[in-house]
Structure 1
Amino acid sequence: MARPKIDPAERRTEQVSLALSPIELGNLKAKASQADTTVTAFVRAAALGQRVSVTKSTAPDFVTRDELRRIGVNLNQIAKALNARKDALPASLVSTCEKLDALFDRWLDHDPQSSPRRP
């Protein structure tokens, strides 16, 4: 399947040169990364007055999210094993899941970027 043709008026053929200090370039790259976009797209949006959403995350947020991902992987492995055996859930597992659910709710309430409800 061929790529759709871009309207000639929409095609980006013009270039702008910009001189920055190494520190400024580093800051620009960091902000583009935080906005989850390329430096080019970030500069284009900022230059055209479009809103660019940059989220500020701290290192502990990344650590917390990584730990939550690991917990999720473990829970999926437990669920897969339990579904294969068709045994009743041990009471300790139910209790642990309830505690994790409460922790996730507290974490989501603390994170301004998260939606208020989980699926």
Structure 2
Amino acid sequence: MARPKLTEDNLRSINFTVRLTPAELKKLEATARLCGKAPGLLMRDRFFKGRFPEPKTPKLDYDTYFELKKIGVNLNQLTRKVNANIFPNGLLSVLAKLQQQQDIIIKLLLDDSQSENW
């Protein structure tokens, strides 16, 4: 099935040129990549809608949030047992593993946030 034809009012046929510095172009392209849109679409959204589109969350972040949620559930279960004066066997080894996972995740998040300089 073919794409429906646009009416004259909805057809984008007029070009508008904008001059940018190399630094501005680099920032525009990085922002467009982050939002998953073309730079022209990004500028049009910003100008006419008054906001930038929501950036797409990388898959690494979803996996990281999922891991953090699992760690939080584990900590919650352990906290309930400790508050009830029940100390399960191997508690220290579980806490050590959770600490290692947390350290790895925090390092990944810090490295990722410092890689985007804009």
Larger RCO (CA under 8 A, 6+ residues apart): 2
> Which structure's CA Rg is the greater one?
2
Bigger share in helix: 2
The normalised TM-score by structure 2 is 0.47
The normalised TM-score by structure 1 is 0.47
